[in-house]
A and B are shown apart, each in its own frame.
Chain A
């Protein structure tokens, strides 16, 4: 029974991890930028959901309709105005730039919302579902379902839509994409905007489950790192695989050697993966 509960927990958490990571993975894969502001975007999304519920009584499962376009615009603007200027610079420059942006956003959030932890409490509470002795809270179930839906939407977008195909083309071969008439700068901005929108939506879902504070942004970012490296970069299925693997490892680790070691375990796994299998579970080799 414990095993079944462990597996279900890992499944639920894994989908959420994947949802945290897909935006990050998209930006890393397409733009070759490690987007350190991702964690703060997630927290900002969570605050947005909190505010919408608190003042306008819009429940989080509708809030993402507001969050997605808003974050897309912010991300698009950020890339157009700032990041595109240094996009060809070495890793150090883009990484440090996004770190600077993250400092600004995070400090602004602490200043505006204070560092207190807040929790979005649904009225009335949704309770939990019990099936054959396995207990799953309903809010987590909803968040997981939405996370899967979001992942599905991104997958469809990249596979079927014109913009999505252009994004994939730029990711595979930038120069060839330019020769085919793709406007790379605009595609970069679109990809970054999509990444931001996904972060915002992930934040909305997180607000359903976890307490909200600007101080949690680095732990979201850490999860995104690990999931990306485990699963492989830039692919939606990779993010899902990585998220599930991470949740499973954390779950088993917490159950066997104690929850305080779960983070250590996940980062140790990250380093091992980087060294042994840098392309991840599902990634292709040859991406720097």
Chain B
């Protein structure tokens, strides 16, 4: 575990202190921050470590939301529902990964984008189970007051974030992380030296999906109402990528910081330019890609750091 990993855990620890300082608005923002950081860190396993441009985040987010939603309406407790949807996503993504990750570059990007469409349409058409386009109402948890609920969901989402961060740190320190780096640099060569690329990629895809699914499940329980166009929104796939690009792809700390910065920007844009918020997001993406291709952290701070060290 190196200094950057410790800094990541420290950052997450700081987020946990939020309920002591902020009101309900801060709690809502904090929950969203944990959600975004979870999505971005999870994406980083496939997109950053293994270098596969995955647009499947929204697919597993929606999958988790609907799996948990359906299980909750069947009367299962929240913790069990979340756990089940996490395991189901792990299994589903592992299996899908073994097939989809044989594709490279553009083909993989298109296939992962289509996965979102396929799942959304399936949920849309399975009206008996999911309510189809009318959406799904999720029963309220045994209400102990609005504020207590908000605190509960904040800590639940925070726990998912912590688990994700530990998973990411674990992956980057293990043989799996090393293997994924090999795959990113040269997959053919990695295969030549006896690395089981298919297994590694499936594992990475599964791990990157399971916490996204858990976060989706918590989101569903948190907002009490989901519909297919909301949770299978392709923006859930793109936002984590933008966050990762902001922070610098590959570095968990950078990605987590990117998520926080992104949330701040999004909040400001939502508040002031509600009519054109997606246009502003687009502009942000374009400027970011053209002017800061390696993210916020790597540019100035990196140079300063190096200079300081040499002195």
**A270 near B279 (CB under 8 angstroms)?**
no
Partner of B278, one of A107, A229, A268, A271: A107
**A96 near B285 (CB under 8 angstroms)?**
yes
User: How many residues on the B side are at the interface (Cβ–Cβ under 8 A)?
Assistant: 43
| A222-B117 contact given A92-B47, A95-B53, A100-B286, CB 8 Å threshold | yes
Partner of A103, one of B53, B106, B124, B278: B278
B276 within 8 A of A: yes
| A96-B115 contact given A91-B109, A103-B278, A264-B121, CB 8 Å threshold | no
**B110 near A103 (CB under 8 angstroms)?**
no
**B53 near A92 (CB under 8 angstroms)?**
yes
A173 within 8 A of B: no
| Bound: A199/B19 CA distance, A | 51
**A107 near B99 (CB under 8 angstroms)?**
no
Q: Least Cβ distance of B292 to chain A in Å?
A: 12
Q: Which residues of A contact B199 (CB under 8 A)?
A: none
Q: Least Cβ distance of A242 to chain B in Å?
A: 13
**B283 near A104 (CB under 8 angstroms)?**
yes
| A91-B105 contact given A97-B286, A103-B282, A107-B279, CB 8 Å threshold | yes
B275 within 8 A of A: yes
**B106 near A28 (CB under 8 angstroms)?**
yes
Interface residues of A in 246-267 (CB under 8 A from B): 260-261, 263-264, 267
Q: Which residues of A contact B26 (CB under 8 A)?
A: none
Secondary structure of the A contact surface, majority rule: helix
Interface residues of B in 222-254 (CB under 8 A from A): 234, 238, 241-242, 245, 249
Q: Least Cβ distance of A232 to chain B in Å?
A: 12
Q: Least Cβ distance of B280 to chain A in Å?
A: 8
| Bound: A85/B293 CA distance, A | 11
Q: Least Cβ distance of B243 to chain A in Å?
A: 11
Interface residues of B in 1-58 (CB under 8 A from A): 47, 51, 53
**A82 near B286 (CB under 8 angstroms)?**
yes
Chain B: CB-nearest residue to A265:
B121
Chain A: CB-nearest residue to B132:
A260
| Bound: A106/B235 CA distance, A | 14
Q: Which residues of A contact B105 (CB under 8 A)?
A: 91, 288
Partner of B109, one of A34, A97, A270: A34
B178 within 8 A of A: no
Q: Which residues of A contact B286 (CB under 8 A)?
A: 82, 97, 100-101, 104
Partner of B281, one of A82, A86, A103, A225: A103
**B114 near A267 (CB under 8 angstroms)?**
yes
Q: Which residues of B contact A107 (CB under 8 A)?
A: 276-279, 282
Given contacts A270-B114, A271-B114, 7 further A-B contacts (CB under 8 A): A92-B53, A100-B284, A101-B282, A106-B278, A107-B277, A108-B279, A260-B125
Q: Which residues of B contact A181 (CB under 8 A)?
A: none
Q: Least Cβ distance of A261 to chain B in Å?
A: 6
Q: Which residues of B contact A102 (CB under 8 A)?
A: 282
| A92-B125 contact given A100-B289, A102-B282, CB 8 Å threshold | no
B290 within 8 A of A: yes
Q: Which residues of B contact A268 (CB under 8 A)?
A: 118
Chain B: CB-nearest residue to A32:
B106
| Bound: A119/B242 CA distance, A | 36
**A86 near B276 (CB under 8 angstroms)?**
no
**B241 near A96 (CB under 8 angstroms)?**
yes
Write 21 A-B pairs (CB below 8 A) sorted by A numbering: A34-B109, A91-B106, A92-B47, A93-B293, A95-B106, A100-B282, A104-B282, A105-B282, A107-B279, A107-B282, A225-B113, A225-B114, A260-B124, A261-B121, A263-B117, A268-B118, A270-B111, A271-B100, A271-B118, A274-B110, A275-B99
